[in-house]
């Protein structure tokens, strides 16, 4: 590897050729401010916050796109550099809705942090301001152009990472706006509600549809029996909202906090993940045996499902008919649990705490009403749960660990790994392999489907057949995989797709990590590691060995894929219109 030598603020560095000044400075712990920059996603030098002085250059240069050269001398903190950054920031602020105290991103806003860092106390450029209508028609994502700073991080994420392009920058100059095609709203285009745009946004221009008041109202209603369930990825991210390190497991504290909020029962979506494996694994074996439609594609991710409905309708028959785990849990709560506890399902209010904004859209789907009532009544994100805990004045960090309520709170390690890309595949193979061969797996950890490679493949012998399986995360990678299947280049029996890069651990409803931190910490790796640690810590790690799942089949469902199981736990999907961004 060819190396070059340069100095930054008098520090002599040796870095690989092709490295940008920003990256070189980071390697020496010299922090240059950024705003539009998002590592590996948006590196366009548009905001001009990362300006530096390069000896010999006539003008200041954007360090995020300027490559180093041998003998280069760089200054990052001259009076001219500081003033240029400050002027650029004030110009951005001059057309920004500065309602910081009431903004959802207050105290976690990159623009707010930069203003403090650069000492902006007054705006010298108070000229004309645009006043746009807020797009809140989506069940999942709210778009507020009045807070948009035109950094285009959301555009790059939607187009380059997710391969969708539901939003783009339109207009020119002062009239530029980030919006869907033909000035439509997000609810009416091919947005998949994944919320990755929210995670990318440095300010409050994109946020989830807030359902906390709906949940508070249910909790205060004495006529309602309010049940909550938590997805596996929530427990490895919630702590970040309370200052804990990225990837800290807070399962017990989370349960304790939910009880203090007033929920009547605290259940674990991991139980329903185990239930999903029983249903989906049986479905796979049935398709293999009866020459059904293959490859079978998992259906746990509502963002991926909507993407498929818009873009790959020819694969709808390949989708597993299984509902996602939290929807299965809702159906079981309003049938099995209601019957066992003599509660009218009309009086049961099910709340799902999810790492995913697309779950809000999913819960509103008319197909998901197995008991004539919505399977799930409200979905809140990890961020919304943290908001409720703070509103209640609960000292989260000091809470003692508590356990989930029994039966529907009992789960295995296979259930918890659903939170990371490859987890559904691994959990399914743990169970299907043992059902077919009658022998326990030598190693439960199937590392071929783990990790952050965009597409992963594995072959697993199952009796007389070797199952060819693939895993993709993020719809951009899903597109690559499905195109290969369509063309005949690849053939698989089983495919897992998650709508978000990294899977649920970095879903659109998880704590937002500033771009500067993402330059130093691999968030996906840290949270995934915590997921696998929880799996290893549990006494039972295979879904078919979950005694509470066996009990529900024995007492209520009969067997996997039974008529009753299909009535409650399975669904269907639909073809949706496709739009392209401008």
Task: Pick the catalytic residue from 64, 158, 194, 300.
Answer: 300
Asked if 75 and 81 count as a contact pair (C-beta separation under 8 A), the reply is: yes
Question: Regarding beta strands 455-462 and 465-473, do their DSSP bridges make them parallel or antiparallel, or are they unpaired?
Answer: antiparallel
Task: Pick the catalytic residue from 110, 240, 309, 362.
Answer: 362
Instruction: Report in angstroms the alpha-carbon separations of 408 from 135, 155, 250, 403, 467.
Output: 38, 40, 19, 12, 31
Task: Pick the catalytic residue from 23, 97, 283, 309.
Answer: 283
Q: Which residues contact 277 (CB under 8 A, 6 or more apart)?
A: 414, 415, 424, 427, 428, 431, 543, 544
| CA-CA-CA-CA torsion sign (102, 237, 409, 427) | positive
- Residues, the chain, total? 582
Task: Pick the catalytic residue from 31, 100, 160, 367.
Answer: 367
Q: What are the helix (H) ranges across 405-546?
A: 413-416, 423-437, 475-487, 515-518, 523-537
Task: Pick the catalytic residue from 63, 115, 299, 320.
Answer: 320
Residue 99 annotated in active site: no
- How many Cα atoms occupy the beta-carbon half-sphere of 98 within 13 Å? 16
Beta strands across the sheet bearing 265-268:
265-268, 225-230, 348-354, 378-381
Instruction: Report in angstroms the alpha-carbon separations of 496 from 136, 196, 387, 420, 427.
Output: 31, 19, 32, 11, 11
Asked if 81 and 51 count as a contact pair (C-beta separation under 8 A), the reply is: yes
Token pair recorded at residue 549: 């799942």
Distance CA 29, CA 49 (A): 18
Residue 83 annotated in active site: no
Task: Pick the catalytic residue from 253, 306, 334, 359.
Answer: 359
Neighbours of 126 (CB within 10 A): 11
Q: What are the helix (H) ranges across 291-371?
A: 302-311, 325-332, 338-340, 358-363
Residue 367 annotated in active site: yes
Task: Pick the catalytic residue from 50, 197, 500, 504.
Answer: 504
Residue 504 annotated in active site: yes
Before 295, cis peptide (omega within 30)? yes
Asked if 68 and 28 count as a contact pair (C-beta separation under 8 A), the reply is: no
Q: Directed axis angle between helix 251-261 and helix 382-391, to 10°? A: 60
Q: Taking Cα atoms as reference points, which of 484, 533, 517, 570 lies closest to residue 108? A: 517
Residue that has been written with the tokens 């707010």 in this structure: 112
Residue 362 annotated in active site: yes
Residue 548 annotated in active site: no
Neighbours of 208 (CB within 10 A): 24
Question: Regarding beta strands 51-54 and 72-75, do their DSSP bridges make them parallel or antiparallel, or are they unpaired?
Answer: antiparallel
Distance CA 385, CA 540 (A): 28
Task: Pick the catalytic residue from 97, 208, 280, 327.
Answer: 280
Beta strands across the sheet bearing 494-498:
296-297, 494-498, 465-473, 455-462
Q: What is the DSSP letter of 320?
A: -
Neighbours of 525 (CB within 10 A): 16
Report helix, strand or coil for 54.
Answer: strand
Distance CA 419, CA 498 (A): 10
Residue 359 annotated in active site: yes
Distance CA 510, CA 532 (A): 18
Residue 47 annotated in active site: no
Q: What amino acid positions are annotated as catalytic residues? A: 280, 283, 300, 320, 359, 362, 367, 504
């Amino acid at each position: 590897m060819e190396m070059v030598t340069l100095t930054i603020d008098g520090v002599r560095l040796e870095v690989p050729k092709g490295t940008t000044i920003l990256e070189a400075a980071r390697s020496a712990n010299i922090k240059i401010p950024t705003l539009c920059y998002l590592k590996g996603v948006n590196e366009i030098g548009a905001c001009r916050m990362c300006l530096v002085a390069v000896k010999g250059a006539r003008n200041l240069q954007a360090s995020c796109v300027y490559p180093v050269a041998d003998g280069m001398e760089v200054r990052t903190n001259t009076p001219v550099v500081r003033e240029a950054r400050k002027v650029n920031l004030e110009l951005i602020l001059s057309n920004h809705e500065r309602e910081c105290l009431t903004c959802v991103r207050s105290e976690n806003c990159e623009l707010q942090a930069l203003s403090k860092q650069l000492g902006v106390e007054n705006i010298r450029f108070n000229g004309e301001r645009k006043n746009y209508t807020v797009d809140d028609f989506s069940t999942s994502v709210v778009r507020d152009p009045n807070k948009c700073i035109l950094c285009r991080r959301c555009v790059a994420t939607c187009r380059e990472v997710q391969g969708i392009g539901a939003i783009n920058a339109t207009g020119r100059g002062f009239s530029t706006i980030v919006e869907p095609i033909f000035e439509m709203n997000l609810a009416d285009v091919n947005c998949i509600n994944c919320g990755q745009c929210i995670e990318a946004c440095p300010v409050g221009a994109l946020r989830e549809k807030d359902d906390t008041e709906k949940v508070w109202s249910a909790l205060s209603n004495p006529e309602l029996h309010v049940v909550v369930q938590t997805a596996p990825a929530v427990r490895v991210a919630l702590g970040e909202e309370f200052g804990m390190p990225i990837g800290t497991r807070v399962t017990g504290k989370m349960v304790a906090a939910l009880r203090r909020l007033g929920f009547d029962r605290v259940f674990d979506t991991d139980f329903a993940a185990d239930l999903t494996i029983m249903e989906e694994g049986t479905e796979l074996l049935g398709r293999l045996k009866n020459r059904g439609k293959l490859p079978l594609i998992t259906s746990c991710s509502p963002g991926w499902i909507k993407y498929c409905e818009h873009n790959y309708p020819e694969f709808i028959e390949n989708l597993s008919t299984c509902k996602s785990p939290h929807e299965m849990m809702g159906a079981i709560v309003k049938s099995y649990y209601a019957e066992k506890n003599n509660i009218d399902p009309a009086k049961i209010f099910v709340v799902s705490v999810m790492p995913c904004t697309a779950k809000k859209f999913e819960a509103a789907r008319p197909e998901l009403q197995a008991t004539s009532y919505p399977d799930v009544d409200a979905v809140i994100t990890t961020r919304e749960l943290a908001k409720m805990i703070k509103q209640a004045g609960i000292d989260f960090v000091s809470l003692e660990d508590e356990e989930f309520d029994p039966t529907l709170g009992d789960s295995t390690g296979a259930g918890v790994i659903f939170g990371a890309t490859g987890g559904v595949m691994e959990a399914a193979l743990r169970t299907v392999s043992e059902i077919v061969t009658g022998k326990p797996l030598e190693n439960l950890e199937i590392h071929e489907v783990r990790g952050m490679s965009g597409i992963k493949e594995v072959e697993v012998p199952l009796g007389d057949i070797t199952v060819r399986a693939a895993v993709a995360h993020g719809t951009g990678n899903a597109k690559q995989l499905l195109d290969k299947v369509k063309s005949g280049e690849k053939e698989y029996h089983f495919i897992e797709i998650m709508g978000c890069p990294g899977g649920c651990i970095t879903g659109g409803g998880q704590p937002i990590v500033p771009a500067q931190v993402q330059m130093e910490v691999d968030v996906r790796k840290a949270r995934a590691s915590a997921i696998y640690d929880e799996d290893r810590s549990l006494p039972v790690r295979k879904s078919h060995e979950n005694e509470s799942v066996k009990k529900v089949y024995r007492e209520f469902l009969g067997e996997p894929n039974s008529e009753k199981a299909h009535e409650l736990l399975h669904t269907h999907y639909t073809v949706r219109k496709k739009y392209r961004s401008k």
